[in-house]
Every structure is written in structure tokens, then in C-alpha cells.
Amino acid sequence: MTALTGHEAQHGVRNAELGRTPNSRVDERQNEHDAYYMQGLVDEGLGRNSTYGIYSVKNGYNWNLVDSYADESTKIWCANGGNCK
């Protein structure tokens, strides 16, 4: 739960910094990538393996999985009315 909170908090921080929500598919993809990375950072900081496989104590970050999750989340965001120009 802590790592998921970090993920969602990253969205809030980024949106606040930009003063807006994502305004394109590319922007949303970067937003999701950063959020999944933050999720892994939380697990790394706690010294534990990620529930979602993003980070493991033994092998570090699984960047293919971070990218895959970011792609899938972007598809969902766009399908639900996100600005995907």
C-alpha cells in the first residue's frame, strides 16, 4: 500500500508542478513512467521486493515492466477520456 501511495502522490506532485493534468498521450506516458518509478523507489527505500515486480532487492529495477505498466496505464487513461492528442 505504501508504494501505491507513492505512485499516486507522484501524479499529484507532477500535476502541481505543471499546473495541469497531462495534455497528450506522450505526456501521460511520461507521467505514468515517473509514477511507477516512484513506486519502485518506495520499495527500494523500504528494502523489500515490489508486489508488482517493479523492483527486487536482488535484481534492482525491471525497466521492461515499468515501461509495460506505463503503457497499459496510458491506454486506460486515454480510453477513459484522457487528452490523448
Instruction: Give every residue of the chain whose pLDDT is below 50, as ranges.
Output: none
- Rounded alpha-carbon distances, angstroms, from residue 57 to 44, 62, 65, 66: 7, 11, 15, 16
| pTM, to two decimals | 0.90
- Rounded alpha-carbon distances, angstroms, from residue 77 to 1, 13, 17, 25, 50: 21, 18, 20, 9, 23
Determine the pLDDT at residue 62.
97
- The C-alpha R_g of the chain, in whole angstroms, comes to 13
Determine the pLDDT at residue 18.
87
Determine the pLDDT at residue 69.
97
Q: How far apart are CA 8 and CA 12, in angstroms?
A: 7
